[in-house]
Each structure stands twice: as structure tokens, then as C-alpha cells.
Structure 1
Amino acid sequence: MRPTPADPEAWNAYLAEGNATQARKRVSADVLLRDEQGRVLLVKPTYKPGWDLPGGMAEANESPDDAARRELKEELGLDVTLHGLLVVDWVPPHGPWDDQLAFIFDGGVLSADRISALSPSDDELGDLHFFTVGHAADALGLRLRHRFQRSLMALTCAIPEFLHDGTPMGWSRLS
């Protein structure tokens, strides 16, 4: 017989058993940051090739927005206010990785004073640079490039978008 909420101890044990068998998702949380000329901040990680958006992986039980703010603080010494969600992308399993939910948030426009103080704050970043939108897209790997381009569209339209591996769903309002 299945326990009920009338027996809280048995009920919680039953729910915990179900929770233990459900899938876990990896979550990444990146931030789109711009300068006053409309250029986009990219960072160069030391642990993988190429350029990336600032941000990183969420820790266990950490919300995506908290992960984005934490990663910017750890890697760039930057405290930001997020201005909204731009993209959620479901990334299928690839290579050694399970599937993932990848978020991109709008971090707004940084002032010249804040930009002049920017530098990598830990050993995970080797460099940072503001790129024009076109050069930023060219500098990103294909999977992230699609997500980045859709985040720019979402920024313009103020409509967050849900993607499947960088591809808009047929019901997207931005397509």
C-alpha cells in the first residue's frame, strides 16, 4: 500500500525514493553583457578551446540565475543585476556529456568605468574581450553561436526563447 501524507515519515520516504530515480539535468547559466557601443563580452576559458560567454555551470540545487551571478563574481569580480531571461536551450547528450539545460540571461550594458576594472579573477579564465556582434558570433563554437544569435533576437524582441540544441521550436514567436 502506498503511504499518504497522513503518515509524514512514510510519505517523505516514499517521495525521496521517487526523487532518487528521476533524471538530473546539468545546468549552465551564461550572461550577455554589452558595452556602450553594443559590443559583447566574451571570455577565454583556460580549460577548453575557444571563446565563451561569461558564466558557467550551476552547482547542485543552485538556481540558474544565482549560478550566473556567482560565476561572474568568481571569474570576473563582477556583481551584476540580471535584466531577464533571453534563452533556454535543451542540449542533447553529446560526447561524454548527458543532456543539459543552457540558460542565457541579459546582464545589461556595462559602463566604461566597470569595464576598465574587468579582469579575470581566477585561473579558469585566460582573457576577456569585447567583440562586435558579428565577430563574437564568429568566435563562438557552433552550438553556442546558435544560442547566442537567438539571445540577441530575444533581447531585441523582449521575448525569451526555448531552443532544442540551438534550434527554435516551430511554435517560437521569434521565428
Structure 2
Amino acid sequence: MAEGNARQARKRVAADVLIRDEAGRVLLVDPTYKDGWDLPGGMAEANEPPHLAAVRELDEELGIKITIGGMLCADWVAPHGPWDDQIAFIFDGGVMSSSGCRELTPADPEVAEVRFFPVEVALDLVRDHMRPRLQAALRVMDTGHALYLHEGHPLHL
């Protein structure tokens, strides 16, 4: 069994969270280690479930404990640069109260700033490869049907 496991492909797993405020704005973080704004979240550790990776990352980066709602989308991302392919999840983080929004500050040096933005502005601020994934997650908020994406675009299987 261990020999078979050692030969199987490994996937990198990213787990982000879509959190909105009462006005419908989207929470973004400004990472210090890469350009552009991003959804809060990060990479899963070995043998860590994606939803728990998202919870851990929000606690580490923002010092907040949240309950994850459903999965909004899962996106297969092709190899790029030095990176192998990955599966990127976006989970529903719900709506944060106005008092909770005022208390948000970075809790990790990896995050320079945290702020809520109107949807149109958020879509302009995220990197090009993240934009279609965020758009898909926002659509799921309206339809209630999670999506499987291939590089940000829904597959109709």
C-alpha cells in the first residue's frame, strides 16, 4: 500500500474564503509576498482537509475564527511557472457584521492590509487568474449551485 501511495500524483490545494459585509462588499487581503489583492486563505498542509485549511489560514492571517459554509467552487489550475497544477477551493465565509468588519486587522506579516471592497472594485484588484474564479464564486452566491472550474471557467460535464 505504501509503495502505491508513494507513486501517486500529489496535488497542491489552495483554500480561500469569500466573506462579505452587510453592504455586499468583498473582503480582500493584500499579501506582502506577491502582487495584487487576494481572497483570504492559503495553501493546505499535508493531509489537511481544504475547509480546515481555510479556517486555519483565516485564524493565522486575520486572527478570526469563522465557520465555513458550503463550497462555492473548486478550480483546477494548470501548471504555471515553477508550480505544478493545483486544486483551488473557494468556500462561503458568510456575512460579517459591521462591528466585526471594524475590528479586522492583519495578524500575520504575510498580510499588509485587509479591507472590504465593492464587488466591481474587488474584481479589478485581484490578479487576472483569480478574477474568473471569484466571478464564479459570486455567481454561486446567487444560484446556490457549486461549480467545478477548469482554470476559472465552468465545465459543463
TM-score by length of 2: 0.98
Aligned to 2:63: 77
**Local SS of the residue matching 1:83:** coil
**Local SS of the residue matching 2:130:** helix
Aligned to 2:145: 159
2:148 alignment partner AA? F
Q: Between Structure 1 and Structure 2, how many residues are aligned?
A: 157
Structure 1 runs of 4+ aligned residues shifted over 3 Å read none
2:145 alignment partner AA? I
**Local SS of the residue matching 2:108:** coil
How far apart are the structure 2 equivalents of 1:156 and 1:73? 27
Match of 1:53 among 36, 39, 46: 39
| 1:104 matches 2:87 | no
**Local SS of the residue matching 1:115:** helix
What are structure 1's unaligned runs of at least 5 residues?
1-14
| 1:40 matches 2:26 | yes
> Radius of gyration: which is bigger?
1
RMSD over aligned Cα, in angstroms? 0.6
TM-score by length of 1: 0.88
**Local SS of the residue matching 1:20:** helix
1:159 alignment partner AA? H
Instruction: Name whichever structure is richer in strand by fraction.
Output: 2
Q: Which moved more, 1:63-72 or 1:113-122?
A: 113-122
How far apart are the structure 1 equivalents of 2:51 and 2:127? 23
